[in-house]
Structure formats: C-alpha cells, structure tokens
C-alpha cells in the first residue's frame, strides 16, 4: 500500500524552563510576559542570576536601576550578577 501525504500542519508549544511559575517581582506567570510587554517570548525573556533566581529581564533591570547603592537579588539579597552561562 502506498500512502501519499497531501498536506500537513506542524504545531509546536514552548515554555520557559524556570524553577518557579511566576516572576517574583511582577507576579505574572513566566509563560506570560512582564506588565510592560504585550507578547511573551524572545522579546520578554527570562534571566537568571548567579544565585540561581530567575525573573523577567525587564522586571529585574527596572529593579536594579532603581537601586542606587547595592544591586541585590530581590529574593536572597546576594549581590546580583547575571548568569551568562
């Protein structure tokens, strides 16, 4: 028997792999976007600190910019360093 595929539709789903469901700063789901954005995905990425805590990039950058002196992780108060690995 010979089968001919006439057409097909590919569907994919994606999600961020984070150790939590929600961003601790804005409390929105990681699979959604930060309150300043409209669409989730690469335009509203997640970032990790070396302390392993994770936030929407826009949320953590806003927090760090509002701090004059110590740039600390909002979760553990360790000095915030982006984990580039």
Tokens of 50: 């070396």
Binding range to another protein, per CB under 8 A, among 8-16, 20-28, 38-46: 20-28
Read off the DSSP letter of residue 75.
T
SS3 of 65, please?
helix
Q: Does 57 bind another protein (CB under 8 A)?
A: no
Binding range to another protein, per CB under 8 A, among 3-11, 44-52, 74-82: 74-82
Binding footprint of another protein on the chain (CB under 8 A): 24-28, 34-36, 59, 62-63, 66, 74-75, 77
């Amino acid at each position: 028997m010979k089968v001919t595929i006439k057409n097909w539709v590919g569907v994919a789903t994606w999600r961020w792999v984070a150790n939590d469901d929600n961003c601790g700063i804005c409390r929105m789901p990681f699979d959604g976007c930060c309150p300043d954005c409209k669409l989730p995905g690469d335009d509203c990425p997640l970032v990790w600190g070396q302390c392993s805590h994770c936030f929407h990039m826009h949320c953590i950058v806003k927090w760090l910019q509002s701090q004059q002196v110590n740039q600390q992780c909002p979760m553990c108060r360790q000095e915030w360093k982006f984990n580039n690995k």
